[in-house]
């Protein structure tokens, strides 16, 4: 590991450096671990509420500036780049696991081996990176894919001085959000019934969720979040009044006898199942529409294979990558074999082999998609991959089939998330003059920590709030669980799922990336979350309009990121408190 060049302070306190700038240094690694853990827990918590993940690289770059430059007085851009690479490597597990593992809890199969699942996810992370590294030159140097997220992080790293200010804004947002969420939890007031106060009909569901995290995510999403909130408003402010006018809603006496309120009836009986169908249909349609990108990715692989030497001197040795792929496959095979009692050698070998091949194919496709559009069909790739595994594992009984498939499937999901994150980080490194080999080592160093943290977070949150509950909707996990139930012949509202899938597919075919999934999330999620999310979306549009995009990036985004971090940490803290007090109380 590098120690960096010599740096001394001159008489006027300016740092004078001799030799190369530090890159893969001990401070960068340690700060990367700390920030990665913070970001993984925050984004993992947020994704269980809102159903989509957020790139952690930008947050890591902002916070890294505050610590490395502001506190530790270190001034190397490439060192901060390594810090954000490691942090985002830790965070890579949050999207991968939060899109898949909650399905096990929603289906009630909680008697799996969590240690094996963590090991599988770590192995998957190694596989995803090993498969994608040989494509770096082709996709970044030659094809020049944009990777907008990587460009945004590079812009932060290249803005000396502004980074420290952004870090302070982020911390201020975190404190504000944490205090509000603490008061909300302590007093038990989690919603504001503004609709009742304004005299709105009950079916219009005018209850607002008290959550600055939700406002922050809405601000970060900006225009992209408009489609999401449209889905919610269509449900409760368009369809519900129409159903009421047509006399198709149950009366108060019927609802009272069933022990339900009108908003609960509408969501559980209509909008939620249609939303799940839209998530599945939209995701699958996204894969079909990504076919030109799939062809492009295959051409990139062919071009990369023709390059002499495969990898250049500034990359990790190709033999090391081969060892990593073989080793990770062996680990996947062992995990598939021992995941359940009746898993045979041949079935386990087929699952590990297909899982490895799917990681390779899907990782390349996702890297191409996010490089060209900044949109990742990760949920669709997960649905397809786990469906394949379900069919291979079927015949052992539902419990063993689901657990074995999810063990390998979660590893696949983490691998795909790590592959896309690696390419975005390499794009950032390309723009700031980093050494690819150092970044690749940094990404590997970050893999092991994320699955451990996320697995612990899932258990704590499930015990405190319940996965799939109103407090933790876990939309992607719910969609996956519903699809698994449908395949295994469970009692699911097939007609509503099919109708939703058709609608989601049509929307995704509109040419707007992920539209079916975004609108489907609006259908699926509780409307109180959509209403509060609207505040963030409107704020972003107004700030962009009145103050300009630069102000949004310099001030708004750091504050919004802080709102996410602060509430998430307080939320996890309360979950730990509930679990501990529950255990002590028996």
Q: Rg of the chain's alpha carbons, rounded to an integer?
A: 24
Whole-angstrom Cα distance, residue 516 to residue 524?
Answer: 12
Q: What pairing do the DSSP bridges indicate for beta strands 208-209 and 191-192? A: antiparallel
Whole-angstrom Cα distance, residue 92 to residue 567?
Answer: 20
Q: Which residues of 540-549 are buried (b: 16+ CB within 10 A; e: fewer)?
A: bbebbeeeee
pLDDT in tens, 226-277: 888 899 999 999 999 999 998 888 888 888 887 788 988 898 888 988 988 8
Report CA torsion sign: 534, 540, 545, 547. positive
Give the residue among 164, 135, 141, 154 at the shortest CA–CA distance from 73.
164
Give the residue among 117, 47, 122 at the shortest CA–CA distance from 405.
117
Distances (CA, A) of 69 to 20, 72, 253: 17, 6, 64
Low-confidence ranges of the chain (pLDDT < 50): 3-4, 310, 586
Tokens of 313: 């001197």
DSSP state of 249: S
Contacts 24+ apart (CB under 8 A), 241-250: 241/201, 241/203, 241/204, 243/203, 244/201, 244/203, 249/203
Whole-angstrom Cα distance, residue 74 to residue 9?
Answer: 12
Tokens of 194: 């503004």
Count CA atoms closer than 13 A to 98's CA, side-chain side. 30
Whole-angstrom Cα distance, residue 504 to residue 475?
Answer: 15
Whole-angstrom Cα distance, residue 506 to residue 132?
Answer: 32
Whole-angstrom Cα distance, residue 133 to residue 508?
Answer: 30
Burial class (CB in 10 A: 0-12, 13-18, 19+), 267: buried
Tell me phi and psi for residue 191, to 5 degrees: -140, 155
With beta carbons less than 8 A apart as the criterion, state whether 382 and 480 touch.
yes
Q: Which residue's structure tokens are 């590079």?
A: 154
pTM over 0.85: no
Distances (CA, A) of 353 to 350, 358, 392: 5, 9, 12
**Structure confidence at residue 362 (pLDDT):** 77
Q: What pairing do the DSSP bridges indicate for beta strands 191-192 and 15-18? A: unpaired
With beta carbons less than 8 A apart as the criterion, state whether 405 and 390 touch.
yes
Distances (CA, A) of 159 to 154, 423, 554: 9, 22, 10
DSSP state of 143: S
Tokens of 202: 């009950």
DSSP state of 422: H
Whole-angstrom Cα distance, residue 226 to residue 338?
Answer: 45
| Residues 6+ away with beta carbon under 8 Å from 582 | 463
Give the residue among 283, 287, 454 at the shortest CA–CA distance from 369.
287
**Structure confidence at residue 161 (pLDDT):** 58
Beta bridge partners of 208: 192
How far apart are the two ends of the chain, measured CA to CA in Å? 48
Count CA atoms closer than 13 A to 586's CA, side-chain side. 0
Q: Which residue's structure tokens are 């992920």?
A: 514
């Amino acid at each position: 590991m590098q120690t960096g060049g010599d740096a001394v302070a001159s008489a006027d306190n300016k740092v004078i450096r001799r030799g190369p700038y530090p890159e893969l240094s001990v401070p960068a690694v340690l700060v990367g671990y700390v920030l990665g853990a913070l970001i993984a827990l925050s984004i993992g918590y947020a994704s269980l509420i809102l159903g989509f993940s957020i790139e952690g690289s930008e947050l890591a770059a902002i916070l890294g500036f505050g610590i490395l430059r502001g506190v530790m007085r270190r001034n190397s851009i490439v060192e901060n780049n390594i810090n954000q690479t490691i942090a985002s490597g830790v965070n890579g597990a949050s999207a991968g696991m939060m899109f898949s593992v909650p399905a096990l809890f929603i289906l009630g199969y909680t008697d799996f081996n969590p240690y094996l699942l963590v090991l599988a996810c770590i192995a998957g992370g190694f596989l995803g990176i090993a498969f994608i590294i040989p494509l770096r030159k082709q996709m970044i140097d030659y094809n020049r894919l944009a990777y907008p997220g990587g460009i945004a992080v590079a812009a932060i790293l290249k803005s000396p001085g502004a980074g420290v200010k952004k870090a302070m804004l982020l911390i201020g947002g975190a404190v504000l959000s944490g205090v509000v969420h603490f008061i909300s939890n302590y007093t038990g007031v989690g919603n504001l019934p503004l609709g009742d106060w304004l005299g709105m009909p009950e079916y219009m569901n005018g209850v607002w969720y008290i959550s600055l995290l939700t406002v922050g995510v809405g601000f970060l999403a900006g225009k992209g979040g408009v489609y999401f909130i449209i889905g919610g408003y269509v449900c409760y402010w368009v369809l519900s009044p129409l159903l009421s006018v047509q006399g198709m809603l149950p009366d108060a006496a019927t609802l009272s006898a069933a022990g339900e309120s009108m908003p609960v009836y509408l969501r559980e009986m209509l909008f939620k199942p249609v939303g799940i169908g839209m998530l599945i249909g939209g995701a699958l349609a996204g894969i079909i529409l990504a076919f030109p990108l799939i062809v492009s990715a295959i051409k990139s692989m062919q071009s990369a294979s023709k390059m002499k030497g495969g990898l250049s001197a500034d990359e990790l040795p190709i033999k090391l990558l081969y060892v990593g792929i073989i080793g990770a496959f062996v680990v996947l095979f062992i995990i598939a074999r021992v995941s359940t009692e009746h898993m045979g050698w041949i079935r386990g070998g087929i699952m590990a082999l297909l899982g490895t091949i799917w990681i390779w194919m899907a990782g390349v496709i996702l890297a191409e998609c996010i490089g060209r559009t900044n949109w990742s069909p990760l949920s669709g790739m997960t649905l397809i991959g786990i469906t394949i595994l379900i069919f291979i594992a079927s015949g052992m009984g539902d419990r063993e089939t689901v657990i074995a498939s999810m063990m390998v499937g979660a590893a696949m999901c983490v691998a795909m998330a790590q592959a896309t994150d690696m390419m975005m980080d390499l794009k950032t490194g390309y723009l700031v003059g980093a050494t690819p080999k150092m970044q690749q080592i940094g990404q590997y160093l970050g893999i092991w920590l994320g699955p451990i943290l996320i697995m612990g977070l899932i258990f704590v949150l499930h015990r405190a709030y319940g996965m799939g509950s109103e407090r933790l909707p876990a939309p992607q996990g719910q969609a996956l669980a519903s699809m698994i139930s449908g395949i295994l012949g469970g009692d699911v509202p097939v007609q509503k799922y099919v109708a939703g899938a058709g609608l989601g597919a049509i929307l995704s075919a509109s040419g707007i990336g992920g539209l079916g999934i975004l609108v489907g999330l609006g259908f699926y999620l509780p409307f109180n979350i959509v209403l509060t999310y609207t505040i963030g979306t409107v704020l972003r549009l107004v700030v962009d309009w009145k103050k300009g995009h630069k102000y949004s990036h310099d001030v708004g985004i750091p504050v919004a990121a802080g709102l996410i971090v602060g509430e998430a940490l307080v939320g996890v803290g309360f979950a730990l408190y509930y679990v501990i007090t529950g255990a002590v109380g028996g």
